[in-house]
Structure 1
């Protein structure tokens, strides 16, 4: 039996198709329903489906009146406000190609994107770093567009370019990834395969408006089914989230693992009877954090795996069988395999996680990099660069990125396995593991952890001695005030490695 999941393809994407029209289709049926609530400690901003649709199409008119034409690229340098999703959908509605970017990027990083993408316009909030551009549309102008008559949705081929995002760059330089309008159609497989999403749900996502995880899971998907999206106000601290969840009767909560860690610090039990479960993506969720969430909320948290190049395609889900420590199964409609150089590996053997090239959520390719795009494929399979093991039931256990896999005495070791053991030790709040060079041609496993105070190294060594094989046990331990994180909240293992190997 080989590590291959294939239970049939999903229904094909309709044609012609427009991503924004698809996301906002419920506005005709539910015009007065609350589509979005921006919830804060003292106030709530409410948007109905009719108001959202009207603003999107009016903003689309403004973009066209500014001289933009279908196919033009529009760089988004906007902050954590509702202007971000409105502008994003407006661009898609009229056939423009938005490029959403993190507000955390510096002016130099943004300049590199402008040089790479040659956008026809830049949508710019003055609080966000951005170099000059000949067609800069500032935030006040963007908001005035909402007073214009509505544009019409521009349908077209589902495979035409829809939007461009940049990879996080955690394994190298960020790359521009082009996605088609059909990418939103692929997310239908998440509704049952991860979320358990219905029109009656109230989904709170703890991320910022200008993060692609929030755009998809927190906004586009709830709006597609006619649910209500809840987004915390930008000044909301993680410790305030449990109260907002209960106050606004959230049924599903979504966040990155780092937010769960912060939210659960000294957390009291949550009295939130409406809450059904949590969702986690962005990096590996530690078993300890999942257990803490279960204890505090009384609900499970379902983890998912995806990447910039392909929407989430492996996940746990309500009512689905689960294996302890596993991510979950490929969602129905996906074709997923674990490969080595010869093809799918036997069940139970480590392989590279791969998704079939026909998946509607898979990228069109890396822009201006056809050779790099081709190098990511092995026959009909897109290689994610992440390692995993598939069980006979199709459950996949995540082992980490191929370039994060450690080499200890000739053995390959997953950092995730070592981290899972260490996170259960009292006194450790977060941990990351990598291998470091201690002398020429000699590498050892090092553990970097946060906690109230440094723990005795001998205590740490004793703790792992009967839980991990000798070759998997860290040889070095570093107590840190914080672990280095990228803009998307992922741990930067290369930064840890560089810090440990720097001359003292």
Structure 2
């Protein structure tokens, strides 16, 4: 049975053309709103053109060069991202909560030559810029659209984004020649294991996935009429594709939430709007439903809620439906698939599953020998389709481990595929931990832990957590009494919040195989 109904999105084959076509089509309709300030599609076109023109005329950046964007959900994010794409640059979306060490790896590995960053993070960035190839820095503040005087760049030689937009408005702009197979983004992920790798996503990958998502949503996403709340970070591939590409191209208003953890402020920011849709995850659904101010909102227009990034619990789904009257449609994806692979059909959701594959998406479940298993049997989920990445940036061996010559991507997730095409995720093949939808890779955390004074060995696993889905637990072999406070402080300096262990357990020895490999599964019990 097909749940998809192809819907017109855009004739464009690359994102720069999609942006200009969309802005021309929807004109003065609202496109993005944040912190009480709203930009129309016409203004988005004007600002992104100015951004692109400035880069062309005042830097040596060329199409194909990488630019890092390190911002929360502010209006400046779509301006920087769209402006960079219009200039033919490749986006390197960076989590602004990252430590200097994490930022340095991403920017160095990608070879980024330019950076757009929040001024509040300038000191952190300045301390590691000499470890990268970054030559041009653009800074902005959360209140830039609310004040008449542009904030000065706080990194030596940095340029204020608002000054850039003013100066760029009068500069000539020449659209670069791009194609659907041109690289659009390096979306960093650990894949299924190890150090963060840049998934190479083309314009065709991202636009193709947008068309696939829209086909599944059908008339639930009407042209120029929807109002979507965006609490998930735009630097994450989930919100990037769903909101910044799919819903934008459909003429929707995206209401950006810079800090979704501040739930009272969240409620006040969406109060003025007749919200029709939102993408989120367990933590957010439960937190909002427990807030009296949220329960008092008029949510009668809400018709679409999507969950992804971590397994949707029945508790969260039922509470959300009881509170808002809207069901939750769980989906599934990876950075390597732009990201959406599966999504439950709207109004026909099967709780506990991730739905069926999107249009033009092939799925199969294989055993350890690579053979396809019978329907309903467990095995590794594999996917093939227009959304699958081109490979990992400058890592051919890692690419070959997950992507075969026929285009099949091994997801690293153990799943079942039933006769109706519905997929259920059973477990992760690797040891990745998911905290509030964010991937935590044990190897990275363990490397940091073993650098701490007195720590001999460490192993990291995830354990269930009602609030975040999972939480990070560290098992440590140390040469003296374990100083938990000191170890927490050590991790805090080197790891972003969701990666930091919440519990430390001292053990005499770690369980290992006969060849010395740590058996994390025994620690998980």
TM-score w.r.t. length of structure 2:
0.72
Confirm whether residue 136 of structure 1 aligns to residue 129 of structure 2: no
**1:247 correspondence with 2:239:** no
Q: Distance in 1 between matches of 2:28 and 2:82?
A: 19
Q: CA offsets, 1:149-202, max 9 Å, x none?
A: 362432422112111111157743211111111122222110132573222111
Q: CA deviation at 1:500?
A: 4.7
Q: How far is the alpha carbon of 1:235 from its aligned partner?
A: 7.4
1:180 paired to 2:202:
yes
Show the counterpart of 1:363: 389
1:281-309: CA deviation from partner (whole Å, max 9, x where unpaired): 11111111000101110110111100110
Q: Which has the higher contact order (CA 8 A, sep 6+)?
A: 1
1:450 and 1:95, CA in 2 relative to 1: closer, same or farther beyond 3 A?
closer
* Count of matched residue positions in the alignment of Structure 1 and Structure 2: 423
- For structure 1, which segment, 375-384 or 184-193, has the greater mean C-alpha deviation from structure 2 after superposition? 375-384
Counterpart for residue 516 of structure 2: none
2:343 aligns with one of 309, 312, 315: 315
Q: 1:198 aligns with which of 211, 222, 231?
A: 222
Segments of structure 1 that go 5 or more residues without pairing to the other structure are 406-414, 417-433, 435-444, 452-483
- Displacement of 1:449 in angstroms is 4.3
Please say if 1:344 is aligned against 2:337. no
Confirm or deny: 8 A CA contact 1:18 1:155 kept in the other structure: no
Kept after mapping to 1: 8 A contact 2:106/2:188: no
- Structure 2 residue runs without a partner (length 5+): 140-158, 435-441, 443-460, 468-490, 510-525
1:114/1:154 CA distance change after superposition, 3 Å: same
Contact 1:166/1:177 (8 A) holds in 2: yes
Match of 1:272 among 299, 303, 314: 299
Q: Assess, with a 3 A threshold, how the Cα gap between structure 1 residues 243 and 175 changes in structure 2: closer, same or farther.
A: same
- Name the counterpart of 1:167: 189
Distance 1:229 1:198 in 2: 14
* Alignment partners' CA distance in 2, 1:64 and 1:219: 23
Preserved contact between residue 231 and residue 260 of structure 2 (Cα < 8 Å): no
The 3 A distance-change label for structure 1 pair 262 and 502 is farther
Q: What SS class does the counterpart of residue 247 from structure 1 fall into? A: coil
Give me the whole-angstrom Cα distance separating, in 2, the residues matched to 1:344 and 1:6.
22
CA RMSD of aligned residues (A): 3.6
Separation of aligned partners in 1, 2:465 and 2:38: 41
Q: For residues 68 and 334 of structure 1, what CA distance do their matches in structure 2 show? A: 36
Change (3 A) 1:312 1:500: farther
Give the deviation of 1:210 after TM superposition: 3.5
Whether the aligned pair in 1 keeps the contact of 2:4 and 2:358 (CA below 8 Å) is no
TM-score using structure 1 length:
0.75
Q: CA deviation at 1:77?
A: 2.9
Asked whether 1:26 is paired with 2:22, we answer yes
Q: Distance in 1 between matches of 2:399 and 2:424?
A: 26
| Cα distance, 1:20–1:257 mapped onto 2, change above 3 Å | farther
**Cα distance in 1 for residues equivalent to 2:323 and 2:496:** 25
8 Å Cα contact 1:269/1:296 also seen in 2: no
Residues 488/382 of structure 1: CA separation in 2 closer, same or farther (3 Å cut): farther
User: Counterpart of 1:212?
Assistant: 237
1:258-269 correspondence to structure 2 within 5 Å: 258-265=283-290, 268=295
CA contact (8 A) 1:81 1:209 kept: no
Distance 2:233 2:495 in 1: 11
The answer as to whether partners of 2:307 and 2:331 remain within 8 angstroms in 1 is yes
Shift of 1:323: 3.0
Greater fraction helix: 2
**Alignment of structure 1 residues 340-489 onto 2, 5 Å:** 340=367, 341-356=369-384, 359-378=385-404, 380=406, 381-404=408-431, 448-449=464-465
The structure-2 alpha-carbon separation of the partners of 1:332 and 1:16, relative to structure 1 and needing over 3 Å to count, comes to: closer
Residue aligning to 2:164: 145
Change (3 A) 1:224 1:24: farther
